[in-house]
């Protein structure tokens, strides 16, 4: 009986640990990599000044993720979520060709 209780406790501890790990992963989302196929196809750069001017002549240095309609990061944060890249974070100073000026 005693060993059964111990086993149940160990299982609960293990499951609790797994839940904590999952919560930690959600709050520390990976950054979008410029080389990811979707990011590359949209010309995403972590620094808006590095956007390809030849490929994207309408790009302006004032355009960046932090003032894009699709960005939902907190004001002043260095990075935040973008609905184009679910589950990842984009740099506040980043840019991609899907940029839409925040209203
Ligand atoms: S859609 Fe907007 S927030 Fe998302 S990566 Fe492009 S410029 Fe940044």
Same-domain pairing of 74 and 85? yes
Same-domain pairing of 8 and 56? no
DSSP per-residue codes, 6-28: HHHHHHHHHHHHHHHHHHHHHHT
The neighbouring-strand residues paired with 101 are: 68
**CA dist., res. 66 & res. 48, Å (int):** 11
The boundaries of the domain holding residue 1 are 1-29
Same-domain pairing of 22 and 64? no
Provide the number of structural domains found in the chain: 2
Please provide the average confidence, as pLDDT, over all residues in the chain: 84
Same-domain pairing of 69 and 47? yes
Q: Which of 67, 43, 62 is nearest to 54 (CA)?
A: 43
Q: Is the pLDDT of residue 8 over 70?
A: no
CB atoms within 10 A of CB 29: 15
Same-domain pairing of 38 and 5? no
% of the chain beyond a pLDDT of 70? 74
Separation of CA 87 and ligand 1 centre (Å): 14
Same-domain pairing of 37 and 5? no
Q: Is the pLDDT of residue 20 over 60?
A: no
Same-domain pairing of 53 and 81? yes
The whole-number pLDDT of residue 28 equals: 74
CATH number at residue 89: 4.10.490.10
Band of the pLDDT at 4, cuts 50, 70, 90? low
The protein residue with its alpha carbon nearest to ligand 1, atom 6, reads 96
Q: What is the position in ligand 1's atom list of the atom closest to the CA of 83?
A: 4
| Residue 68 Cβ contacting ligand 1 at under 6 Å | yes
| pTM reported for the whole predicted model | 0.75
The whole-number pLDDT of residue 25 equals: 45
Q: Tokens 């149940």 map to which residue?
A: 8
Q: Give 10 or 30, the one with higher predicted confidence.
A: 30
């Amino acid at each position: 009986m005693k060993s059964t209780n111990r086993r149940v406790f160990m299982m609960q501890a293990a499951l609790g640990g797994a839940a904590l790990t999952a919560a930690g992963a959600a709050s520390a989302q990976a950054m979008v990599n410029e080389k990811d196929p979707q990011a590359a196809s949209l010309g995403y750069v972590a620094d808006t000044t590095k956007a390809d001017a030849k490929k994207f002549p309408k790009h302006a240095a004032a355009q960046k993720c932090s003032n894009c309609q699709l960005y939902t990061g907190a004001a002043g944060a260095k990075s935040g979520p973008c609905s184009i890249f679910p589950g990842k974070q984009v740099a506040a100073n980043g840019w991609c060709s899907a940029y839409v000026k925040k209203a």
